[in-house]
Structure 1
Amino acid sequence: MILVIDNFSNGFLGEYLGNLTDKRFLTWEKRLKICIDVAHALKYIHYEIEDQKTIINRDINFFNIGLDEKGGAKIVHFWWSVFLPPYQEDQALYLNSIGRVCSIDPEYEKTKKLKRESDVYSFGVVLFETLCGRLADDPIYLKESDLGLAHVARRSFSAGLLEEIIDPIIKEEIGENKFVLNRGPNKDSLHTFITIAHQCVAETQDQRPTMKVVIKELEKALFFQVSHYSKFSLSTPSSNLCDGSLLYRKQN
């Protein structure tokens, strides 16, 4: 069996975090669209594959997300993926944990119980990496916790201090009054995004949302963003809000 994938002429998402010039192309709206693209891919492998099969990727992270010539985001690697048999989508597999240390579902790592919610946790880490502009295992987070960004983000969320670790580039967009300068995050958009990201990295699997719920909330965050800037009317269908036509360095 082989997997045929597109040519990702804009590289991989992880490459952008290490380059300040490239990262500046990742406006808040583009970051939302990238996250929605990946969320749809996860929903597909979790729920929509033919013959009622379910795939659990086990290795969702920034370096496994490719960006095509239009800036659309797709999951690239399925090296460690596993199938759940048909009609057993709510069952768990018991396998040794693998993946990037700071992106692994802590319940899976501790108990070896693998479920779709394990991918949801890893995707939640991606959401916080998108928000904070740093990889989950960045030394700045490892100084605070061996578990990296997810643990730091949960603690900051509980303390009401999460905005302090948001990507400075987004803060530049926000400006002194926090939410209205240039095209930085709208307050409702940012709040919606942070809330669903926090739910995704809940410590136990049964506390996490499904990817169907995640998509609904991310689309809501994008809706708040584009509505705030009057780019789309309030009657715009949500399917139009998920267009992945982004522009990156090759188009600039």
Structure 2
Amino acid sequence: MWMQRLKICLGAAMGLSHLHDPHGTQQRVIHRDIKSANILLDGNWNTKVSDMGLSKIGPANQSQSFLATNVVGTPIYVDPMYVETGILTKESDVYSFEVVLFEVLCGTQDMNMRSQEIFSEIMYQCLLRSCSKRSKMSQVVEKLELALQFQQGISNPEEFKELVKSSMANEKEYKWQHVVLLK
């Protein structure tokens, strides 16, 4: 059960990381409504980030980019700094994703202690009040991969990389399967 939850969280984090880090394009996407209900699963348990109706496109060619905008999103998931200032950053999505991680952690019992520690560490790092101190989604992905590695009982990082590689037939297709743009 915990293993499947970790894989779902990792898939969602990879999708958000792909939106936040545009890989050569001049724009990034900020979702603005990350919540459990907007993380979907297909018939093969592949994660899909959905409902892009509130998303905003912002510049990606700057180390710090933000948008001044009306506050929208589901109240419990919305970044308090975004609510206070009306300034939207990709770290606002990171905060919202932390709330999702907290929901996933609640009620889970069958987990490796080291996996749980790593998961909790990244969860609290995303929750920090200061946007500049929050983790980037790419860092969240790395930590969730590490938590999954410990949960699977893999102590050799190279063995884990081979396991991940073998589960992906086509890496580009894998990256895109985590992002679904729905209006």
- Tell me the TM-score normalized by structure 2: 0.84
Letter matched to residue 193 of structure 1: F
Structure 1 distance, partners of 2:161, 2:76, is 32
Pairing of 1:133-152 with structure 2 (within 5 A): none
What is the aligned partner in structure 2 of residue 187 from structure 1? 113
Percent identity reads: 36
Measured at CA, do residues 88 and 188 of structure 1 come closer, stay the same or move farther in structure 2, by a change above 3 Å? same
Cα offset, 1:104, TM superposition: 0.3
Cα offset, 1:48, TM superposition: 2.6
Asked if 1:131 corresponds to 2:105, the answer is: yes
Cα offset, 1:127, TM superposition: 0.4
Task: Note the alpha carbon deviations across 1:70-107, whole angstroms, 9 max, x for none.
Answer: 10111011000001135146221111111111100000
Structure 1 distance, partners of 2:105, 2:17, is 21
Structure 2 distance, partners of 1:75, 1:131, is 19
Equivalent pairs, count = 166
Asked if 1:107 corresponds to 2:33, the answer is: no
Task: Note the alpha carbon deviations across 1:111-152, whole angstroms, 9 max, x for none.
Answer: 0111000000001111001111xxxxxxxxxxxxxxxxxxxx
Structure 1 distance, partners of 2:53, 2:30, is 11
Task: Note the alpha carbon deviations across 1:211-246, whole angstroms, 9 max, x for none.
Answer: 11111111110000101xxxx5723243634859xx
What is the aligned partner in structure 2 of residue 211 from structure 1? 137
Task: Note the alpha carbon deviations across 1:183-218, whole angstroms, 9 max, x for none.
Answer: x21110000000100111111211201011111111
Measured at CA, do residues 86 and 196 of structure 1 come closer, stay the same or move farther in structure 2, by a change above 3 Å? closer
Q: CA RMSD in A?
A: 1.8
Gaps in structure 1 of 5+ consecutive residues: 1-26, 133-166, 172-183, 245-252
Pairing of 1:18-167 with structure 2 (within 5 A): 27-48=1-22, 51-88=25-62, 90-132=64-106, 167=107
Structure 2 distance, partners of 1:233, 1:204, is 34
Greater relative contact order, per chain length (Cα 8 Å cut-off, separation 6+) = 2
What is the aligned partner in structure 2 of residue 240 from structure 1? 163
Task: Note the alpha carbon deviations across 1:24-75, whole angstroms, 9 max, x for none.
Answer: xxx1000000000000001101013552310000000011111011101110
Structure 2 distance, partners of 1:86, 1:130, is 30
- Which structure has the larger Rg? 1
Q: Tell me the secondary structure at the aligned position of residue 111 of structure 2.
A: coil
- Tell me the TM-score normalized by structure 1: 0.62
Gaps in structure 2 of 5+ consecutive residues: 169-183
